[in-house]
Amino acid sequence: MSRADKLKEEIGWLKVVFAVLVAIDISLVGWLAQNYDVASDFLQIICAVAVVVTTGGVVWVNRTAYRKLDELEEES
Report the pLDDT value the prediction gives residue 1, as an integer from 0 to 100. 78
Residue 16 pLDDT level (bands cut at 50, 70, 90): very high
Q: What DSSP line would sit under 1-59, residue for residue? A: --HHHHHHHHHHHHHHHHHHHHHHHHHHHHHHHHHTTTS-HHHHHHHHHHHHHHHHHHH
User: Rounded mean pLDDT of the chain?
Assistant: 95
**Percentage above 90 pLDDT, the chain:** 87
Give residue-wise pLDDT tens across range 29-48. Answer: 999 999 999 999 999 999 99
